[in-house]
Amino acid sequence: MVLLGAIFKCLDPILILASIESTRTFFLRPPGTLDMANQVKDNMSLGLPSDHYAALNAFREWRFIKNEKGRQPANDFAFSNLMHVGALQMIEKTSLQMLEMLVEWDLVRDIPVSMRYNHELGDPELNINSDVQPLVLALLASGLAPNLAVQTGPVLLQTGTDPKALIHPSSVNSGGNFKQLGLPRKGPRYPGAGPPGTLVLFSSKTASSGGIFLRDTTVIGPMTGLMFAGKLQNSVDQANVVTVDEWLPFKFESGVCPQVRELTRSVQTVRTPFYVSI
């Protein structure tokens, strides 16, 4: 994923996202502050149905304040927004170490800090697409593969190994159906991220007495999931179906599938009746 970030010139966000995946979450949820914690994460997501972008935006804001105003104002920002300073510092350290490795391997140029744009990591030329959200999400999908789920009903999702899963209540996509309609949080306790067919990336899963919960989720589009989130197979008996990772079939309109099929290397029978329509 990091190499793709350099190739597609969105190095800074991909380095940060890769570092976030390697450490614990810095969003805190102390007892008695859950509503505030949910609001902070919603605000940091800037309207995107993405925990990953919420974390990316929050880290970038903390980094900007630290570099412009100093460490104490940055830590005050983190404290007021229920963020763990130590985790933020670990993400910063890890992202810098990964950048140093790329420089040592002669994959990117060594750029002085004074020449970086807006405190972004790496050569400004390798960050000209850093604000192109669809591209960043596509590379995130490639990095998180095969962690892909699909909404199969109002509440439940399906993954490649779990027929039933739920969005964790700490996610910005918990209660997504109501937020998209501008309604208050109510109804089912763990509503899904969208209508049936919605594709969701997730960082990890946890199991409890309440079921399987997907943590740190991001809603992506069908083509992003198809092209970046897993291995493609063609259906033997259905010419307009392509399957991701042998479990999630995509059904195309007539005449579209042949172009997509050119990108596939193997053919296998679709094993589930649920379809994502494109």
Model confidence pLDDT, tens digit, residues 122-141: 999 999 999 999 999 999 99
Same domain flag for 121 and 171? no
For a pLDDT cut of 90, what percent of the chain falls above it? 59
- Determine the pLDDT at residue 193: 86
Range of the domain at 214: 145-224
Q: How far apart are alpha carbons 64 and 216 in whole angstroms?
A: 23
Domain finish residue from 182, 197, 224: 224
Same domain flag for 72 and 150? no
Q: What is the pLDDT of residues 164-207, one digit of tens each?
A: 999 999 999 987 534 443 444 444 444 678 889 999 999 999 99
Same domain flag for 72 and 121? yes
Same domain flag for 131 and 103? yes
Domain finish residue from 224, 241, 264: 224
Same domain flag for 46 and 165? no
Q: What is the pLDDT of residues 54-79, one digit of tens each?
A: 999 999 999 999 999 999 999 999 99
- Determine the pLDDT at residue 167: 94
Q: What is the pLDDT of residues 96-117, one digit of tens each?
A: 999 999 999 998 888 888 888 8
Domain finish residue from 114, 142, 170: 142
Which of the pair, 145 or 233, is modelled with greater confidence? 145
Residue 156 · residue 166 · CB < 8 Å? yes
Residue 136 · residue 180 · CB < 8 Å? no
Same domain flag for 200 and 158? yes
pLDDT band for 236, please (50, 70, 90 cuts). Answer: low
Average model confidence (pLDDT) for the chain? 85
Same domain flag for 137 and 160? no
Residue 248 has pLDDT above 90, yes or no: no
Domain count, the chain: 3
- Read off φ and ψ for residue 214, nearest 5 degrees: -95, 125
- Determine the pLDDT at residue 192: 77
Same domain flag for 152 and 109? no
Q: What radius of gyration do the chain's Cα atoms show? A: 20
- Determine the pLDDT at residue 133: 94
Same domain flag for 196 and 250? no
pTM: 0.85
- Determine the pLDDT at residue 266: 36
Same domain flag for 20 and 121? yes
Q: How far apart are alpha carbons 242 and 116 in whole angstroms?
A: 43
- Determine the pLDDT at residue 104: 93
Which of the pair, 242 or 122, is modelled with greater confidence? 122
Same domain flag for 88 and 120? yes
> Alpha-carbon dihedral of residues 26, 31, 37, 38, nearest 10 degrees?
120
Which of the pair, 234 or 166, is modelled with greater confidence? 166
pLDDT band for 255, please (50, 70, 90 cuts). Answer: low
- Determine the pLDDT at residue 262: 66
Same domain flag for 80 and 162? no
